[in-house]
Amino acid sequence: MRTLPAPLIGTTIALFLLTACGGTGGGAEPASAPPAPASYSPASPGPDGSPPETGMSPDGSPGAATPVPDAPVGMAESGIGRILVDGEGRTLYLFEKDKNGKSSCDGACAKAWPPYLTEGKPKAEEGAKQDLLSTTKRDDGGTQVVYGDWPLYYYQGDEKAGDTSGHDIEEFGAEWYAVGPNGKKITG
């Protein structure tokens, strides 16, 4: 039987330990999901393991809105100014086609611009005004959050909290804007 010189044994053991412990042994690192952006923290599941309470679908995508108990409306700073956001920091929009607090967005419009729905009385958080919050009954039976005279919506093109890609665009016959804490559209 041949024996290895002592320095070679130490090197071999060190390389084995580095590789086994996930060191930088030159091999490819296992693939992992990219970290979430620092400005967005996904909602935590409820105490019973239920989906997080946001106005988005249970998987967090903006395809179909789900009602939120006591839907929170707050204010956040953004690249376009101070804007209204939901409890997860997602931008809320108004649709200029809506009149007198009633939604005129349904069908394909409501898929692209999911309404912010509630199961209770909406709640003002930091920077929002409780006296401007109310609700309206939608034609599909849902209860939509209204701020000032504007029913509130998400935009399916926004991927995370803080996105404002739906601001100042025209779709479904009118302009869409982020909403300021005063209940008016953000301009400029």
- Class of residue 28 by CB neighbours under 10 A (exposed 0-12, middle 13-18, buried 19+): exposed
Give a yes or no: residue 89 inside a domain: yes
Give a yes or no: residue 186 inside a domain: no
Give a yes or no: residue 52 inside a domain: no
Of the pLDDT bands very low, low, confident and very high (cuts 50, 70, 90), residue 64 is low
Domains identified in the chain, total number: 1
Q: Are 108 and 58 in contact (CB under 8 A)?
A: no
Q: Which domain holds residue 144?
A: 72-178
pLDDT the model gives residue 65: 74
Report the DSSP pairing between strands 123-124 and 72-78.
parallel
Give a yes or no: residue 33 inside a domain: no
Give a yes or no: residue 14 inside a domain: no
Give a yes or no: residue 8 inside a domain: no
Give a yes or no: residue 23 inside a domain: no
Q: Are 18 and 25 in contact (CB under 8 A)?
A: yes
pLDDT the model gives residue 56: 46
pTM score of the predicted model:
0.69
Percent of the chain with pLDDT over 90: 62
Give a yes or no: residue 170 inside a domain: yes
Helix (H, G, I), strand (E, B), or coil: what is residue 57? coil
